[in-house]
Amino acid sequence: MRAEVLVIWVALTLCCAPVAAREDVEEEDKLSGDRVQVRETRGLVEPRRRTEEGGVGMSDEPAEVVPDESKKPKKKKTPEEIEAARAKKAAEKEAKAKKQKAPKPTKKPKGPKPTKKPKAPKPTKKPKAPKAPKATKKPKATTTVQPTTTNRPALDEEEERLLIELGWDTLIPPVTPKGPGGEEPVEPGLGEVPGGRPITTTTEVIMYIPVAAKKQEEEEERARIAKAEKAERERKKWEEEEEERLKQISVPVEPKKCPPLGLESHRVEDDQLLASSQSHHGFTAQRGRLNMQGSKDEEDLYGGAWCAEPEEKNHWFEVDARREVEFTGVITQGRNSEQLEDFVSSYFVAFSNDSRDWTTLQDGYAEWLFYGNVDKDTPVLGQFSPPVVARYIRILPQSWNGSLCLRAEILACQLPSSYRSENEVNPSDDLDFKHHNYKDMRQMMKVINEECPNITRIYNIGKSSQGLKMYAMEISDNPGEHETGEPEFRYTAGLHGNEALGRELLLLLMQFLCKEYNDGNPRVQRLVDGVRIHLVPSLNPDAYELAFEMGSEMGNWALGHWTEEGYDIFQNFPDLNSILWGAEDRGWVPRVVPNHHIPLPENFLNGSLATETKAIISWMERNPFVLGANLQGGEKLVAYPFDMQRPVISLTDSRRWRSNADMNEETWARIQRQRDGSLRETPDDAMFRWLAMSYAHSHLTMTETYRGSCHGDDITGGQGITNRASWDPVVGSMNDFSYLHTNCFELSIFLGCDKFPHESELPLEWENNREALLSFIEQVNRGIKGVVRDVEGNPLPNATISVEGIRHDVKTAPSGDYWRLLNPGEYRVTAKVDGYTPQTRLCMVGYDSGATSCSFTLAKSNWDRIKQIMAINGKRPIRLVTKVNAPKPTAASSPATATVDSHASAQNAERLRRLRIMRLRRLRQQRLRAGLSTTPATTTTTTTTTTAAPTTIPETERTTSWYDSWFPVDSWNTENPFDSVIFNSAPTQDYPFEYTID
C-alpha cells in the first residue's frame, strides 16, 4: 500500500511541477516547506530564495522585504544543520556534490561590492508585469495539491526513506539533467517569477551560501576531530589494558648480576667447601675451584678438580657462604688434565639455611635441570631467576663425561647488614674502580694527562701485531727528558692479555700519583721529583681485548694468554743465559764475553720474535732503566731471576774449574749447588732477594701463605718470594734478558690467584697493593750513584762500573751518570773506559734512604796509542812469538818490514824497536829458567828468524782465532808494559768481538 501511495505522489509531483512554479510564495511554503529544507541541504537554497524574494503578493513595501529575507536564513540554520546530519550517512554522493558546489560562490571576488550599491531596491519595481496574474488563474494546481497537504508529513517520511534506499540521483536526472556547465539541476519554476522572468540574485543571498557552507565544513571538521580524539582515547586505553595484561603474564625477568663469592680468588677458605666423597687424596673438595691448576703428575696430591668416588650414588658439592646471601648463578668447569676429558654435563641446585633441610630449585613445573659443560676448559654459566636467599648451596651432578670431576664458582650478592664484614673494603681514594678496554684505557690516560700536564707525558713504545699502540705514561717533574743523576723506573703489565689486575693497578697508580701530587702529598712529590717513572699498563693489547669480551669469569685459564701470532711475550726474549754460561765454562768471561750488556746473537731480531717483543727491546735500549717489575697473575708471590735453569756441570768441567786458582771457595760452593739443581743464583742474588721482599712484605696479604699457594704447596717458605728457576723455570724470560742486556734489575710480581678478578674486587686489590707499589719504586735509590767525567769535566758515556766481589757490571748513561743497586756495606768500585786510566774508589752504602754518591774523574791513558798499533795489524791484537835472544838486527831489516806495511812507514822504526826489546826480555828469562848459555849457532839462527818474523806474523794470524792471543801461555813471561792492559781489561763496544760456543 505504501509503495502505491509513493508512486502516485511522485507522479503528481512531476505533473504539477510547472503549475507549482507559478503559485504564490506562501502557498509554495505550505506545500513544500519540508522539501525546501531538504533541497537547501543539497545546494538548492539559492533558486528558492530568488523565488521568495521576487514574489508580488509577498508585501506592499519592498524595502522591508530585504531585511525580513535576511533574517530567514538565520532562523533556518538550525533545521539545516539537523537535516545535514540526518542526510550525511544516507547520501554520501550528495554530500560530495554539495562540497563541489559550495565553494563556487566563495571564488567570486565581486561578492562584497553589491553591498555598497544603493540600487538593490530595483527588483521591487517589477510587479507591473501583466503576466503575473496568469499564475494565479490556475487553481487546479493548488486544488490538486490540497489533498496531498494533509498527508505531507507521512509522505515526507516516506520520501526520506526512499532517498535513503534509492539515492537522490535516481529521482532527479529524468526531470532536470545537468546543464552543460556541470552544475546541479534545479527544479523547474523555482528560479522564476509568475511572469516567467528569472529573479535577480541579491547580495544577501550570494553571501549567505558560503557562510552556511563554511559553517557546515566547521561542523564536519569538529566532528572529524572529535572522532579522531575518541579513537586516540580508545587506542590509549587499549594500550594501557594491553600493558596491564602483559604485566600479569609471567615473563622471564633478566637475572640479577652479582659478583663471585670467591672460590677462584681463595677468599672462600678451604673449610667452607665440602663434598659427598672424593676419588682419592688429590681430588678433594678444596680443589673444586674455578681455574684450579693441577700438577703435571695426574695422581699427585694436587689434582686439577674435585672428583667424586665412582661407587657413591648421591653426589654433591657444597659451599658455605657463612651468612645469608642472594645466590644468582653457578659457573662450572671440567678437570684440568692433559690426558682426560672429565666434566659434568648436567646438574641440579639445592639450597639450605641449616645444611640439614635442602630445597631443590624448581622452574615452576619440576626440578630445574641445568646444562653444564661440553669440554673441560670452557666455563659455563647457569643463572637463577629470581635470586635465592640462603646460606648453603649444593651442586648435584646428574650426568658427566668420563669421571665425575668439577671446578666451580658461585655468584652471590651480599645482603645489607647492620654489621660490617671483614671482607668489605671502602677505599679512601677517589679513583675509577672498573675494567678499562683499549678505548677506555686511552681515554683514562688522556684525562690524567690533562689534569697533571706538568708532570705527565703519554707516548707509545710501539704497536702490536694488530696495530694497537702500546701506550706508556711518564710521570716526572720534567717529563720527556732524562735528568743527570735521576734514576729511571718502570712498571709493565699485560704481558698476558688475560691477566688484567696489573693493568688496572697501573691505571689506578697513575690516578693516585696525579691526585696526590696536586694535593701536596710529600711522599708522592718526593717520588715524582726524584725518579723518572714509566708505567705501561698493556704490553699485549690484542689479547686483552679478547679476554675483556668474554668477561672476568667466563674466560678460561689460557684465553688471551698469547699474542695474535701465538707468542708468549714473557718467554719470547733472546736466550742470553746460555751465551753467558757457555762462556763461563770456557773461561771467556770477562775477556771474551762480558758479564753485562751481552750483545744480541747475530740475526736474532729477524728470527721468531713477536712484534711486541721487538718494540719492548728497543724501548729498553733507549732508556737507562735501573729497576723495574712486570705485573702478572695466577699466583701470589714475587719471583726474581735467574728464571732459567743452568745445565748441570759435568765432572770434567768441575775439575777444570777446581784447578783454576782464581776461583774462591764461595764460588766453588755455589757451582756445586747449581750442579745439584737446587739454586740458580745471579751475582746480585742478595740484592734481588731484598727487592722481592720489599714488595711482598709491603703487600697486605702476600706473606699469608699458611694455606699454601693458589694451586699447591707454599713454595716461598712463608716469605712470599722465590727464585723462578727453582719454582717454574722458563727460557728466554724478560727478567733474565733485562739483567744481562741492560742495567735494569727486573722482577715478576704475581698479584693473585684470579687472573681477571671481578670489578667489585678492584677496591680490595688496590688497598692490598698500594703501599707495595710505592715502596718498590723507592728502592731505585738504594745503593750508589754518580757521574764519570774526564779531567776537563766532560761526561764519559758507556763507562764500565765494576764492584769487587760481584761479577756483574753496569754502564754509564749517555750523560755519564750511573746507578748501582747495592745492599748496605763497603764496596771497592772501579770505573773504566777506553782511552782512560781506570780509577778505583771505596764507596760506603748506609741504611739511610737515598743512594750514596760515588763519582769518578778519569785521566787519559796511552790506550789511543795502543789502538793505533792495533790498527796497523787490521785492528787485531799483536801475536807475540817466543824466540831465542838475538843481537841487534842490521838496518836491512827495516826495508823488509816496510814492504809489509807500506802505508805506515813512518811508524815502522818505533814498532821494530819495541819488538826487539820484548824479544830480548823473553830470552833473558828463558836463560835464567833453563840455566843455559847462548851459543853463536843459536845467535845465527835467531838472527835469521828475527828478520823474517815481521813478514810471517800477519800471514799466520789470519787463520787463527783472534782471542787466542788474549790468554797467557806459560812461556810468555815478560815485563811488557802493555800485557796488563791487554789481558786484564774488559772488552768494550769499540772492539768488534766475534766468538763461537761449542
Write the pLDDT tens digit of every residue in 530-556: 999 999 999 999 999 999 999 888 988
The answer to whether the beta carbons of residues 728 and 568 sit under 8 Å apart is no
Please tell me the predicted confidence (pLDDT) of residue 51. Answer: 40
SS (H, E, C) 840-854: EEEEEECCCCCCEEC
Q: Which segment, 292-296, 905-909, 930-934, is predicted with the most confidence on average?
A: 292-296
User: What is the average per-residue pLDDT within 918-943?
Assistant: 63
Query: Which residues have C-beta within 8 Å of that of residue 458, sequence separation ≥ 6?
Result: 445, 446, 449, 471, 472, 473, 474
The answer to whether 342 touches 371, Cβ cutoff 8 Å, is no
CA distance linking residue 574 with residue 731, whole number of Å: 9
Nearest Cα to Cα of residue 919 among 887, 957, 871, 962: 887
Answer with the residue of higher pLDDT: 740 or 982: 740
- Residues 16-35 have a mean pLDDT of 44
pLDDT in tens, 888-905: 444 444 444 333 444 456
**Which amino acid, residue 925?**
Q
Q: What is the pLDDT of residue 430?
A: 84
Local structure of residue 96 (DSSP, 8 states): H
> And the C-alpha cell for 496?
698476558
Output DSSP code: residue 276.
Answer: S
DSSP state of 177: -
Residue 3 confidence (pLDDT): 59
**pLDDT tens for each residue of 321-352:** 999 999 999 999 999 998 899 999 999 999 99
Please state, in angstroms and rounded to a whole number, the distance separating the CA atoms of residues 955 and 972: 21
> pLDDT value at position 30?
43
Would you place residue 519 in the very low, low, confident or very high pLDDT band (cuts 50, 70, 90)?
A: very high
What whole-number distance in Å separates Cα of residue 113 and Cα of residue 101?
A: 22
Question: What is the fold, at CATH topology level, of the domain defined by 273-414?
Answer: Jelly Rolls (2.60.120)
Q: Sign of the CA dihedral 9, 10, 13, 14? A: negative
Handedness of CA 433, 554, 568, 649 (dihedral sign): positive
Cα-Cα-Cα-Cα dihedral of 175, 181, 184, 186, to 10°? -50
State residue 99's pLDDT score.
Answer: 52
Omega cis (within 30) before 348: no
Q: Is residue 614 a contact partner of residue 539, using CB atoms and an 8 Å limit? A: no
What secondary structure letter does DSSP report for 797? T
Q: Give the per-residue pLDDT at 13.
A: 61
* Measured CA distances, 535 to 492, 532, 635 (Å): 6, 10, 22
Interacting residues of 100 by C-beta distance below 8 A, sequence separation 6+: none
The DSSP code sequence of 457-522 is EEEEEEE-TTS-EEEEEEESSSTTSPPTT--EEEEEE-SSTT--HHHHHHHHHHHHHHHHHHTT-H
Q: Do domains 438-649+681-780 and 786-866 have the same CATH topology?
A: no
pLDDT at 955 exceeding the cut of 80: no
Q: How confident is the model at residue 833 (pLDDT cuts 50, 70, 90)?
A: very high
Are residues 562 and 610 in contact, defined by beta-carbon separation less than 8 angstroms?
no
The residue with greater pLDDT, 240 or 950, is 240
Burial label for 802, CB within 10 Å (0-12, 13-18, 19+), is: buried
Q: What is the mean pLDDT of residues 609-629?
A: 95
pLDDT at 910: 78
pLDDT: is 834 or 1 the higher one?
A: 834
**Quick one: average pLDDT of 45-72?**
40
Q: What is the pLDDT of residue 988?
A: 38
CA neighbor of 296 nearest in space, from 307, 285, 309, 282: 282
Angle at 870 between CA 867 and CA 874, to 5 degrees: 130
Average pLDDT over residues 795-802: 95
**pLDDT at site 913:** 81
CA atoms within 13 A on the CB side of 749: 30
Q: Give the type of residue at 63.
A: A
Q: Which three cell numbers stand for residue 503?
A: 693493568
CB 303 within 8 A of CB 287: yes
Buried b or exposed e, range 330-361, using 16+ CB within 10 angstroms? bbbbbbbbeebebbbbebbbbbbeeeeebeeb
∠ CA 924-929-935, rounded to 5°: 55
Torsional class of 757: left (φ above 0), alpha (ψ -120 to 50), beta (otherwise):
beta
The number of angstroms, rounded, from the C-alpha of 893 to the middle of its chain's C-alpha atoms is 79
Pairing status of strand 825-832 against strand 839-845: antiparallel
The answer to whether domain 438-649+681-780 has CATH 3.40.630.10 is yes
Supply the Cα-derived Rg of the chain in whole angstroms.
Answer: 55
Confidence (pLDDT) at 72 = 41
The pLDDT of residue 700: 94
Instruction: State yes or no: pLDDT of 390 exceeds 60.
Output: yes
Kindly report the length of the chain.
Answer: 998
Q: State the pLDDT confidence band at 748, using cuts at 50, 70 and 90.
A: very high
Instruction: State the residue for C-alpha cell 771467556.
Output: 588
CB 230 within 8 Å of CB 717? no
The pLDDT of 750-771, averaged and rounded, is 95
DSSP assignment of 374-429 equals: SSSSS-EEEEEEEEEEEEEEEEEEEEEESS-EEEEEEEEEEPP-SS--TT----SS
Burial of 697 (0-12, 13-18, 19+ CB in 10 A): middle
Amino acid in the structure at residue 463? K
The pLDDT score that the predictor gives to residue 73 is 44
Asked whether the beta carbons of 857 and 839 are under 8 A apart, the reply is: yes
* Residue 296 C-beta-side C-alpha neighbours within 13 Å: 1
Q: What are the boundaries of each domain within the chain?
A: 273-414, 438-649+681-780, 786-866
- Alpha carbons 579 and 601: distance in angstroms, whole number: 9
- Which residue in 359, 336, 401, 295 sits closest to 713, CA to CA? 295
Average pLDDT over residues 293-303: 84
Residue 750 pairs in a beta bridge with: 632, 637
Say whether pLDDT at 132 is over 60: no
pLDDT score of 830 more than 90: yes
Strand 380-401 relative to strand 343-352, pairing: antiparallel
Write down the mean pLDDT value for the chain.
Answer: 76
What digits encode the pLDDT tens for the residues 395-438? 999 999 999 999 999 999 999 875 555 555 566 678 999 999 99
Q: In CATH, which superfamily holds the domain spanning 786-866?
A: Carboxypeptidase-like, regulatory domain (2.60.40.1120)
Q: Among residues 500, 723, 809, which one has the least CA distance to residue 633?
A: 500
- The pLDDT value given to residue 779: 96
Dihedral angle sign, alpha carbons of residues 720, 725, 730, 732: positive
CB-CB neighbours of 580 under 10 Å: 22
Res. 255: pLDDT tops 70: yes
| Type of residue numbered 418 | S
What kind and span of H or E run contains 149?
A: helix 139-150
Per-residue pLDDT at 525 exceeds 50: yes
- What is the average pLDDT across 566-586? 92
- pLDDT band, residue 665 (cuts 50/70/90): low
Instruction: Determine the pLDDT at residue 343.
Output: 96
User: What is the pLDDT at residue 364?
Assistant: 83
pLDDT value, residue 834 = 86
CA distances from 967 to 581, 917, 922 (A): 19, 21, 17
Burial of 122 (0-12, 13-18, 19+ CB in 10 A): exposed
Task: List the one residue out of 821, 645, 803, 799 whose CA is nearest residue 739.
Answer: 821
- 697-707 pLDDT, tens per residue? 999 999 998 88
Quick one: average pLDDT of 970-986? 36
Q: Is residue 666 within a helix (H) or strand (E), and if so which, with residue range?
A: helix 665-676
> d(Cα 626, Cα 615) in Å, to the nearest integer?
19
pLDDT digits (tens, 9 = 90+) for 578-593: 999 989 888 898 888 9
pLDDT value of position 241: 86
**Least reliable range by pLDDT among 10-24, 56-70, 189-203, 669-683:** 56-70
**Residue 112 binned pLDDT confidence (cut-offs 50, 70, 90):** very low
pLDDT at 670 exceeding the cut of 90:
no
* CB atoms closer than 10 angstroms to residue 804: 12
Largest Cα–Cα separation, the chain: 192
pLDDT at 155: 54
CA–CA separation, 430 vs 511, rounded Å? Answer: 9
pLDDT at position 365 over 70: yes
pLDDT of residue 933: 46
Which residue type is seen at 549? E
